[in-house]
């Protein structure tokens, strides 16, 4: 029996209406303190998540459009990632789009350039997509897999460049999960429907916090109105002089508080080992033998770290040098010394280190940030004879 035109139209209207009602739309605003650094917006409808993101970093504003199609098991079957400049133009010397296709035993990535397509196939099963930073909506798929009893702590993943990597979610206490793989091990929290509610970079160098909302953004318009952040944590050198040729230098990055909690809070959580600055590891250079607590440091270069605990705050001296500030290797510690913590005369917005020369052989290192000043004394050897 043929359905009447009006009945078919009514059915189509019902299906469209049902699809609209089932669509889940969300926006996540990522902030450093009170400063918005990125916005992600995405819609999940049926077996597809489509979204876009705008981010302002040091030199530029960037946009990313993406979509991912997945099966009944929440594993991706296809995806695309398109990178754009803030004004919507293609990024120079980069693919206009990265396309992904996933089968039972392989994954294919195609990087599309204006004049060519670079295609690579990977022999990998049940792989995921590694998305750029500030795209966390698609992690809802892994949350759903985990909730159904699947193992998601270490899944093969493919991004726009490179070989097969890894992604995953692991327990981080309570109902909070930690992202594995990617650039930052963000803390993630989902509701009972596996919808991402917030992201938190408290234990990473990306301290941004993302909160889910329902506000709709015109990402293209937002991108046109944003300005690059510039250098968020400038590099500086603290210097103390101790007689002819005697120098103690500390090279470090200078993060800002940005209305966040510092000691025992968002920026320096209890018991975590902090880089005593930002970006590259903080480095100490001394031209004289230096006594710091029970440590005797020969002339040379070292890295410095801080651990803030409820029972005390400590300066750690480490033999490893030249590394990024998250690459802390406790096996190379030389030792640690307690820091004296006192109230700062006034709020210190930008992290500041001072090397004070008290006499020709005595000095002190002062680290000021937020409401506190951390101090440790040291001594240096006298100049060698004949100098």
Residues 192 and 86 both lie in one domain: yes
Domain boundary among 191, 225, 259: 225
For the whole prediction, is pTM greater than 0.85? no
Residues 82 and 191 both lie in one domain: yes
Q: Does residue 13 fall inside a structural domain? A: no
Question: In tens digits, what is the pLDDT along the chain, a chain of 387 residues?
Answer: 444 445 444 444 444 443 444 568 999 999 988 889 999 999 999 999 999 999 998 788 999 999 999 999 999 999 999 999 999 999 998 999 999 999 988 999 999 999 999 999 999 988 999 999 999 999 999 999 999 999 999 999 999 999 999 999 999 988 899 999 888 899 999 999 999 999 998 888 788 999 999 899 999 999 988 888 777 788 999 999 998 889 999 999 999 998 889 999 989 999 999 999 988 999 999 999 999 999 999 999 999 999 999 999 999 999 999 998 888 999 999 999 999 999 999 999 999 999 999 998 999 999 999 999 999 999 999 766 445
Q: Does residue 110 fall inside a structural domain? A: yes
Residues 100 and 169 both lie in one domain: yes
Measured in whole angstroms, how far is the alpha carbon of residue 192 from the centre of its chain? 26
76: tokens are 């991706």
**In this structure, are residues 69 and 47 in contact, taking their beta carbons and an 8 Å threshold?**
yes
Residues 198 and 93 both lie in one domain: yes
Domain boundary among 204, 225, 246: 225
Residue tagged 């398109």 (tokens): 82
Residues 109 and 77 both lie in one domain: yes
Query: Residue 364 is part of which domain span?
Result: 234-380
**In this structure, are residues 315 and 337 in contact, taking their beta carbons and an 8 Å threshold?**
yes
CA 266/CA 204 separation, integer angstroms: 10
Residues 311 and 367 both lie in one domain: yes
Residue count (the chain): 387
Number of domains in the chain: 2
Nearest alpha-carbon partner for 141 in 196, 183, 104: 196
Residues 164 and 85 both lie in one domain: yes
135: tokens are 């795209």
Residues 6+ apart with CB under 8 A from 178: 169, 170, 171, 172, 185, 186, 187, 188, 203
SS3 (DSSP) at 15: helix
Number of alpha carbons in the 13 Å side-chain half-sphere of residue 51: 25
Phi-psi region of 5 (alpha: psi -120 to 50; beta: other; left: phi over 0): alpha
Domain boundary among 225, 252, 286: 225
């Amino acid at each position: 029996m043929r359905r009447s035109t009006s009945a078919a139209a009514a059915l189509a209207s019902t299906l469209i209406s049902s699809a609209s009602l089932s669509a889940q739309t969300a926006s996540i605003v990522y902030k450093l303190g009170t400063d918005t650094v990125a916005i992600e917006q995405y819609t999940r409808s049926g077996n597809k998540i489509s979204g876009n993101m705008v981010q302002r970093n040091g030199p530029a504003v960037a946009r990313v459009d993406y979509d991912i199609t997945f099966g009944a098991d929440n594993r991706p079957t296809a995806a695309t990632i398109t990178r754009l400049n803030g004004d919507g133009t293609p990024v120079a010397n980069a693919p206009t789009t990265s396309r992904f296709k996933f089968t039972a035993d392989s994954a294919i990535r195609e990087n599309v350039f204006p004049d060519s397509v670079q295609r690579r196939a990977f022999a990998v099963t049940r792989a995921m997509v590694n998305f750029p930073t500030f795209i966390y909506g698609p992690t809802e798929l892994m949350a759903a897999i985990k909730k159904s009893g699947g193992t998601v702590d270490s899944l093969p993943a493919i991004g726009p460049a490179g070989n097969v990597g890894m992604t995953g979610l692991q327990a981080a206490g309570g109902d909070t999960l930690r992202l594995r793989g990617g650039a930052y091990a963000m803390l993630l929290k989902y509701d009972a429907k596996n919808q991402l509610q917030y992201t938190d970079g408290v234990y990473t160098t990306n301290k941004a916090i993302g909160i889910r909302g329902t506000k709709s953004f015109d990402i293209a318009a937002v991108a046109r109105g944003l300005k690059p952040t510039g250098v968020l944590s400038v590099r500086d050198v603290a210097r103390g002089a101790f007689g002819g040729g005697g120098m103690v230098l500390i090279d470090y990055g200078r993060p800002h508080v940005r209305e966040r909690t510092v000691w025992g809070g968002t920026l320096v959580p209890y018991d975590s080992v902090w880089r005593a600055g930002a970006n590259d590891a903080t480095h100490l250079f001394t031209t004289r033998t230096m006594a710091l607590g029970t440590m005797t440091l020969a002339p040379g270069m070292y890295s410095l770290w801080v651990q803030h605990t409820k029972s005390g705050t400590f300066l750690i001296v480490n033999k490893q040098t030249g590394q990024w500030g998250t690459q802390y290797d406790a096996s190379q510690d030389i030792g640690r010394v307690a820091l004296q913590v006192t109230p700062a005369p006034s709020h210190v917005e930008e992290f500041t280190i001072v090397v004070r020369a008290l006499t020709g052989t005595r000095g002190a290192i002062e680290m000021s940030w937020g409401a506190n000043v951390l101090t440790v004394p040291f001594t240096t050897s006298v100049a060698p004879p004949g100098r």
